[in-house]
Amino acid sequence: MKLVALLLTCSLQAAALRIQVLSLFPLTVLEIEAPSLRLGGEVLPSPSKVGLRGRLVCAGPICGEALTTYGGTVRLSVKGAIARSYPGDAQVMARSGSLVAVVNLDLEDAVAGAVAGEMPGTPLKSAIDAQAIAARSYYSAHRRRHEAADFCDSTHCQFLTAGTAVSRESALRTRGLVLRYRGEPVPALYFRSCGGRTLRAEDVGFASSPYPFAAVDCAACLRNPAVWTAQFPEEQWTGQHTEAARLELARRFGWDSLRSNDYIERRVAGKVIVSGKGHGHGVGLCQRGAAGMAAQGADFRSILRHYFPAASIVE
């Protein structure tokens, strides 16, 4: 009986992820609402507002290394900027001059939140289910991508917002299913649209992955690619067709300035004129292509088999 309880505890713990939330906001003051709040051995009223004092988190005169919430639900807000609720408990700590908020989320709640963030709207069921399995695979394949947490809630890991009815239903329909390669979960990648063919990890300079991401044709994008043009000053152009170089330009010129890694460039009078197709890094599942396959009646298994041909879809 004890062993069963122990195994159950272990499996529950394995399914909980620590996710750093509101990670794109500089957090100096945070309001926290939860059934129970504790800081420095004291019980705080809810909601409470906390700030920083050196390496301590403080609510008025009460300070401690971390504020912890209990009760399974928490709402975090930054006045005038953002408020978000999560189905889990949180810890708020001080790290390098900023508050860091980490929530413990059940894997399936995190999948619902990532699907809501990464594939908003109400796509066809098989496309959203393919996305849910890709998101779950990503969470299952990695651990500890951040100092204080396993994952963050930005596109650095997976963009995570509050789950919606649609995303929660999809997580439930596909519960537990992940892409696996040689028995291990695939760190599944995905992006908005391609230029008619997806790219291999090495095509965009990604570190080698245990999963061999294949370049595959993508019918919807081939038929009707999302084309774009952009221009950059020649001295800022590295000429490297890598995702790192693309993000570096994006940081300097705006997030959509160089939309994808599928483009040709020409130099004209001190400028680099770029003509491209698609949106995002181009490796793994093409969300637009998945939507196109779903519209043609494909189920989530066919979609995933197409974009991850070397993986199997299992619990």
β-strands 56-59, 190-191: how paired?
unpaired
Do 50 and 56 contact (CB within 8 A), yes or no? no
First to last CA, the chain: 25
Decide if residue 192 touches Zn ion (CB under 5 A).
no
Whichever of 88 and 196 has its CB closer to Zn ion, that residue is 196
Whichever of 246 and 306 has its CB closer to Zn ion, that residue is 306
Q: Which residue among 32, 128, 157, 230 contacts Zn ion (CB under 5 A)?
A: 157
Q: Which residue has the tokens 């300035």?
A: 257
Decide if residue 130 touches Zn ion (CB under 5 A).
no
Residues of this chain, 257-296, that bind Zn ion according to CB under 5 A? 286, 289
Whichever of 28 and 224 has its CB closer to Zn ion, that residue is 224
Q: Select the span of 47-55, 106-114, 213-221, 242-250 touching Zn ion (CB under 5 A).
A: 213-221
Q: How many residues make contact with Zn ion (CB under 5 A)?
A: 8
Q: For the purposes of burial, counting CB atoms within 10 Å of the CB of 19, is it exposed (0-12), middle (13-18) or buried (19 or more)? A: buried
Cα 178 to Cα 185, 188, 262, 312: the distances in Å are 6, 9, 28, 8
Whichever of 58 and 102 has its CB closer to Zn ion, that residue is 102
Least Å distance, CB 302 to Zn ion, is 15
Cβ-proximal residues to 3 (8 Å cutoff; 6+ apart), any chain: none
Decide if residue 100 touches Zn ion (CB under 5 A).
no
Cα separation, 291 vs 297, in Å, equals 10
Least Å distance, CB 75 to Zn ion, is 22
Q: Which residue has the tokens 């181009």?
A: 282
Q: Select the span of 100-108, 173-181, 191-199, 265-273 touching Zn ion (CB under 5 A).
A: 191-199
Give the binding site for Zn ion (CB under 5 A).
Answer: 152, 156-157, 194, 218, 221, 286, 289
